[in-house]
A and B are shown apart, each in its own frame.
Chain A
Amino acid sequence: MRKSKALSAFVFLAIGLCLLGLSNYIDELRAYQGAQIGIYVIAISSIILLTGYSGQISLGHGALMAIGGYAAVLSYTYWHLPMLLAFTVGALAAALAGFILGMAAARLSGPYLAGTTLALAVGLPSLANQFHILGGEQGLSFDIGEAPKWISNKTGGDFTQYKWFFWISVLCTLSTLWFIKNLLQSRYGRTWRAVRGNPSAAALSGVNIGKSKVLAFTVSSALAGLGGALLAMLLGLVAPMAFTLTLSFTIVTGAVLAGVSNLAGSIIGAVVLVVIPEVTGALASHLGNSEKITANLPGFITSVLLILTVMFLPNGPQLHKRKKAKTK
């Protein structure tokens, strides 16, 4: 067991180094998109953990991302925490919110949970308008500054801001994936799968279902919080507009496209989400370049993809068929 853990750590490390090296050869736009993909991967994997493994639905992860973002920015600005620590604060703040929400959620299920998280998604961001310290509509700015000299000197060439974002995003994403992978393979992950598969059997064999659900919610929220902090970094600010209901829906969509219980699929889902606006931009100009079309085509295609996926591939592209056979 230890050998394969070391092996997978090595693989992750290798992938990370490759990606960082890659960053020397891509342009600004791709660096930005790469960072975006990383954020989506984290957010989508948080849903995969919550829904695919623990069987709970959340339509409000955008709000949890907002909590993470705001907490990170506030702690960075007012407590002068270094960037990574600020991110951690963001994740912890979201985890706390997730804990509370999870406690409430344990009593709810299905549509009640969906609707509650929906209300949260809509209700929370506008709270920023109430409290001056949260910056109101305009939000708070978040500038993490340039990459430290010891890094930018080493790689030579132009170490732009976006490249720095890309690096941070890659670092966080890979760490997150590694963390989740291990968590899902641990006894917590097994517990979640057991409860999802057969709750009564799990309860009879001594599993505290409530506890495992709350744990899933908390961890999932922490991840969303991290994603939100990274998003704030990328955008350079936190504001209610950055965390709309659409964001929550988009993340869930990404998770469904990924195959909601397939962690590796989160990468596919994230790429699809980032690629679609690109592709549809090109498509829209073919269709006459009207503003009506360009603005709405990405959403249209995403929705169609979502519906098709849910209808025909409810468990996502079965890239891990062998794994499925084992767990069944």
Chain B
Amino acid sequence: MLILDTLFIGLSSGAIYSLMALALVLVWRSTRVVNFAQAGQAILSTYLGYEVMSKTHNYWVSIPFAIIGGALIAAFIDAALMRPLEKRSRQGAVSQIAPVIATLGILGLIRSLTGMIWGNAYVQYTSPLSGKGYMIGHHTIPFSPQNLIIVIGALIVMVIFALIFKFTNLGLALRASSFQPEISRLAGIRVDRIRTIGWAFAGAAGAVAGALVTPTTYLSPNSLDLLLVSGFVAAVIGGLDSLIGAVLGGLLLGVGFAFILQYVGTSVTFSAAFIILMVVLFIRPRGILGSRVGRGDA
């Protein structure tokens, strides 16, 4: 029974990691930039959702607002900051890491901004769903209606993305631009705009993650710290190039965490992320489904 319980916990947190990983991979594939600000964007859009929820007292209404907010924030960051940055930094020691540093700066910016607007105190983003686990017979499994929504929400996002990527022209343009931006330009695709759309999708995914998971804990400018690292670790485990890998990595990490928490102890959480990451990178430096020059160059 304990194993099943642990699996359930892992499933729910894994779903969140998958969404964050998905967002990271989306941006990585199209721009070769790891967006460390992803967790910060998710926080900001979650605060937006929180505001809507406080005003309307309706959780479900607040979610689309969070999603749209997340998409717009992400699009803004790409258009206003990352694109000009890419044009400028062509040489020097910093050029490779400049985008990464920029995303770190954006992360800090968002964190302090949310702190200034909403304060560092914890607030509660309440959902009408219960946080108490379902009952199977006499046993309460650690999987509540909120957890169920998390998993369903994550699934919906993944299915939507998969459909868009596979069957729409937009998806084709997104894929082409991320594989071969130059050839795509020569074929007439406005690669810059497509990239921004990719960022918007990533921002939306992060917003969904934030809006769904925050009711289970609390909301504060720093509450997504673990998510930042976990999302990244999940993406790397799965192979930074692969969307499916992101999902897999997220689930594996979620379940792995759950088991470690259960059988080793809670204070190892952060260290566990590092250890899992090192182990996976040691065995497969490209991640499980990573491909091509996966682990390597910009």
**A:276-328 near B, CB below 8 Å:** 291-293, 295-300, 302-304, 306-307, 310-312, 314-315
Given contacts A109-B297, A111-B34, contact A307 B112 (CB under 8 A): no
Determine the chain A residues whose CB is within 8 A of the CB of B52 once the complex forms.
none
Contact flag A108-B281 (CB < 8 Å), given A115-B232, A245-B225: yes
In the complex, the answer to whether B282 meets A310 with C-beta atoms within 8 Å is no
- What residues on B are CB-neighbors of A108 within 8 Å? 281, 285, 295
Cβ contacts under 8 Å, A291 to chain B: 119
Question: CA A295 – CA B36 in complex, angstroms?
Answer: 22
Q: Which of A119, A196, A256 contacts B229 (CB under 8 A)? A: A119
For the complex formed, measure the closest distance between the CB of B24 and the CB atoms of chain A, giving whole angstroms. Answer: 9
Q: Is A247 an interface residue (CB 8 A)?
A: no
Complex: A29 Cα to B97 Cα, angstroms: 36
**Chain A's interface: helix, strand, loop or mixed, by majority?**
helix
Taken together as a complex, chains A and B put the C-alpha atoms of A306 and B37 apart, in Å, by 14
Does B115 make an interface contact (CB < 8 A)? yes
Whole-angstrom distance from the CB of A249 to the nearest CB of chain B?
Answer: 6
Chain B: residues with Cβ within 8 Å of the partner, total of 62
Out of A292, A302, A310, name the residue touching B115 (CB < 8 Å): A292
- For the complex, what is the distance from the CA of A299 to the CA of B120, rounded to whole Å? 13
Bitwise interface map of A from 104 to 144 toward B, beta carbon under 8 Å scored 1, else 0: 10011111101110111011111101100000000000000
- Give chain A nearest CB distance to B161 CB in angstroms: 21
Q: Are the C-beta atoms of B101 and A310 separated by less than 8 Å?
A: yes
Task: Tell whether A110 pairs with B119 under 8 Å between CB atoms, given A130-B267, A256-B101.
Answer: no
Known contacts A104-B282, A299-B115, A314-B94; A123 and B271 CB within 8 A of each other: yes
Q: Which residues of B contact A307 (CB under 8 A)?
A: 81, 102, 105-106, 109
CA distance A52 to B96 in the complex (A): 11
Contacts of A129 in B (CB 8 A): 267
Partner of A110, one of B84, B112, B278, B296: B296
Counting CB contacts under 8 A, is B158 at the interface? no
A126-B270 contact in complex given A245-B225, A249-B104, C-beta closer than 8 Å: yes
| A34 in the interface (beta carbon within 8 A) | no
Any chain A CB within 8 A of the CB of B152? no
Q: How many residues of A contact B (CB 8 A)?
A: 54
Residues of A within 8 A of B273 (CB): 119, 122-123
A300 to B273, CA, bound (A): 28
Q: Does B145 contact A (CB under 8 A)?
A: no
- Name the B residues within 8 Å of A230 (CB-CB): none
Bound CA span A245–B112, Å: 15
Not counting A111-B34, A249-B108, A292-B120, a sample of 5 additional A-B residue pairs whose C-beta atoms are within 8 angstroms of each other reads: A51-B93, A112-B285, A118-B229, A296-B111, A307-B109
Which 6 A-B residue pairings sit nearest by Cβ, starting from the closest? Answer: A123-B274, A303-B108, A296-B115, A299-B112, A300-B112, A306-B105
Q: Contact residues of B with A, CB < 8 Å?
A: 28, 33-34, 36, 81, 84-85, 88-89, 92-98, 100-102, 104-109, 111-113, 115-120, 221, 225-226, 228-229, 232-233, 236, 240, 265, 267-275, 277-278, 281-282, 285, 295-298
Pull 17 A–B residue pairs with CB atoms less than 8 Å apart, ordered by A.
A109-B295, A116-B278, A116-B281, A118-B36, A119-B233, A119-B273, A123-B272, A127-B271, A260-B93, A261-B92, A293-B116, A297-B116, A300-B108, A306-B101, A307-B105, A310-B85, A314-B95
Residues of A within 8 A of B (CB): 51-53, 55, 57, 59, 104, 107-112, 114-116, 118-120, 122-127, 129-130, 196, 245, 249, 252-253, 256, 260-261, 291-293, 295-300, 302-304, 306-307, 310-312, 314-315
